[in-house]
Amino acid sequence: MNTIANIALRNLSRQKKRTILLGSAIAFGVMIVTLINGFAGAFSANVAENFSDLMAGHVFISGTEKGAKDKDVSVIRDDTALTAAVKASGAPVKYVTRRSAFSGTLIFEGKKIRTNVDGANLDEETFLRDRLLLKEGSWDAMEDRGALILSEKIARKLNADVGDTILVQMQTVTGQSNVGEFRLAGISFDAGIFGQMMSYANLSYVNELIGLAPDEYQTMGIMLDGLKRTESAAASIYAGLSGDVQLFERGVKDEKGAETPFQALMRQQSKETWDGVKYRLFTINEILSQIKQIVAALDTAAAIILVVLFIIIMVGISNTFSIVMFERIGEIGTMRALGVQRGGVRSMFLYEAVFLALGGAIAGIIVALVAMGIISLFDFGMENPAFIIMKNGHLSFYLPPLRAAGNVVVIALLTLVAVASPAGKAAKLTPAEALRTQK
């Protein structure tokens, strides 16, 4: 090895305490940042997968008819073509769900709350019973046509108990106001802000309330055997449907910066007119494209932490190396006298810094990976408010290798910047000055 690099390495091991201290500071910073990166890396996949559960599908098909005054009516009247296309696509389908939904106001003893209610065919959606654990009541009570399952928070806000009758106000698909009655059949475990997405009623009753026929519905959800195949399955189902039914274009480009592709699609739809039902195919990824912004925000936060934390650490490193420079001033003088050029003295310090940074950063990543492994062993259960960001009730992590490598490079560069000034001072010393100052 290069002599100067070799000496730099040995200087690090000579002052073990100091090296361990500085290295640990770097490792700690890298560990924090790596944990955030790892969390962000798994975040979007977990959220998408959990939303797929909530919305009962990875790929969705909804129908829209033009009603009176060109008002959009959301309905699927006959799904033979859809079912055929799904079957023909060869996509790895786990099951298909048929749902109608409305957003309305629940009223109980003077208390009101707005929520979304999903009408599901519970004979078909047996998985829902396993997925959504009830704290009170039972799924069996859903035999009752007007039965309703609410999440804990909403039930508490209404102050309603299992067996209570709850009034509901909503609009039909054609825009008429309507009222109905539900009986609270079950209360599910708290799901935080997603509780509002988790009110379930019988499809046939929801259809009645919003003015659809019993065998009609609004959205077909196609649950695949995993998130990964979503886009390819969507593409082949879409290809199978083209020609057979009226279809909205897919993947409308984001025209205005703030819009998601999904919003852009909705805007485009309201500008057109057509006869009969026109279908729209979309995926969980399109609905959750905002998740990407959250991930980006997390990564930005990690980057800011990286920089702030490291500016602090770098101040420490810079000061330490200034002290180190004075401690080794005699050695510097000796080396210069023996024929080491200025650049050699500078590189000795820079090598030392880079080795320190690399060692610390790699240790930090290893510690973070171990921590991730341990954290992901804990089972938080599916009935905790943060379930949406978890994978089967476990916190999960994915560290993109490029990001980890990028962090290491950033640390190494910052460390180089931190020691640039002491290294420069050491290089600038004349050998006579350095030799004289030594004692």
Helix or strand (DSSP H, E) at 351: helix 342-375
- What amino acid occupies position 394? H
Q: Rounded to 5, what percent of the chain is helix, strand, coil?
A: 55, 20, 25
Residue 7 touching other proteins (CB under 8 A): yes
Residue 172 touching other proteins (CB under 8 A): no
Query: Measured between alpha carbons, how far is 150 from 182 in angstroms, rounded to an integer?
Result: 11
Residue 438 touching other proteins (CB under 8 A): yes
Nearer to other proteins, 279 or 349 (CB): 349
CB of 357 to other proteins, least distance (A): 20
Nearer to other proteins, 153 or 336 (CB): 336
Residue 191 touching other proteins (CB under 8 A): no
DSSP-based three-state secondary structure for 47: helix
* Candidate residues 110, 339, 374, 402; the one interacting with other proteins per rule CB under 8 A: 339
Question: Which listed range, 6-14, 42-50, 185-193, 202-210, lies at the site for other proteins (CB under 8 A)?
Answer: 6-14
Question: Which listed range, 30-38, 193-201, 232-240, 427-435, lies at the site for other proteins (CB under 8 A)?
Answer: 427-435
Query: Smallest Cα–Cα separation from 388: which of 286, 284, 313, 317?
Result: 284
- Which two structure tokens, joined as six digits, stand for 75? 């309905």
* Candidate residues 14, 114, 145, 267; the one interacting with other proteins per rule CB under 8 A: 14
Nearer to other proteins, 266 or 435 (CB): 435
* Candidate residues 153, 280, 336, 403; the one interacting with other proteins per rule CB under 8 A: 336
- Category of 330 on φ-ψ map: left (φ > 0), alpha (ψ -120 to 50) or beta: alpha
* Candidate residues 324, 335, 356, 412; the one interacting with other proteins per rule CB under 8 A: 335
Measure the CA dihedral 357/363/364/365, to 10°: 110
Nearer to other proteins, 10 or 111 (CB): 10
* Candidate residues 342, 391, 394, 425; the one interacting with other proteins per rule CB under 8 A: 342
Question: CB-based contacts of 304: which residues, under 8 Å, 6+ apart?
Answer: none
The DSSP string of 237-300 is HHHHHBTTBEEPPSS----STT--HHHHHHHHHHH---SSEEEEEEEHHHHTHHHHHHHHHHHH
The site map against other proteins for 280-319 (x = CB under 8 A) is ----------------------------------------
Residue 330 touching other proteins (CB under 8 A): yes
Nearer to other proteins, 104 or 333 (CB): 333
The DSSP string of 375-427 is HTT----SSSTTGGGSBTTB------HHHHHHHHHHHHHHHHHHHHHHHHHHH
For residue 178, list its beta bridge partners: 170
CB of 332 to other proteins, least distance (A): 11
DSSP-based three-state secondary structure for 135: strand
Query: Measured between alpha carbons, how far is 425 from 176 in angstroms, rounded to an integer?
Result: 80
Residue 17 touching other proteins (CB under 8 A): no
Nearer to other proteins, 233 or 335 (CB): 335
Query: Measured between alpha carbons, how far is 434 from 335 in angstroms, rounded to an integer?
Result: 10
The site map against other proteins for 375-414 (x = CB under 8 A) is ----------------------------------------
Question: Which listed range, 7-15, 209-217, 263-271, 413-421, lies at the site for other proteins (CB under 8 A)?
Answer: 7-15
CB of 254 to other proteins, least distance (A): 58
Residue 18 touching other proteins (CB under 8 A): no
- Which two structure tokens, joined as six digits, stand for 130? 């396993």
Query: Measured between alpha carbons, how far is 151 from 118 in angstroms, rounded to an integer?
Result: 13
Nearer to other proteins, 45 or 435 (CB): 435
Strands 72-74 and 59-66: antiparallel
Nearer to other proteins, 36 or 332 (CB): 332
* Candidate residues 104, 333, 360, 422; the one interacting with other proteins per rule CB under 8 A: 333
Per rule CB under 8 A, count of chain residues that contact other proteins = 25
Query: Measured between alpha carbons, how far is 318 from 304 in angstroms, rounded to an integer?
Result: 20
* Candidate residues 308, 337, 386, 409; the one interacting with other proteins per rule CB under 8 A: 337
Structural contact between residues 241 and 271, judged by C-beta atoms closer than 8 angstroms: no
* Candidate residues 344, 385, 393, 424; the one interacting with other proteins per rule CB under 8 A: 344
- Residues engaged in binding other proteins (CB under 8 A): 3, 7, 10-11, 14, 330-331, 333-342, 344, 430-432, 435-436, 438-439
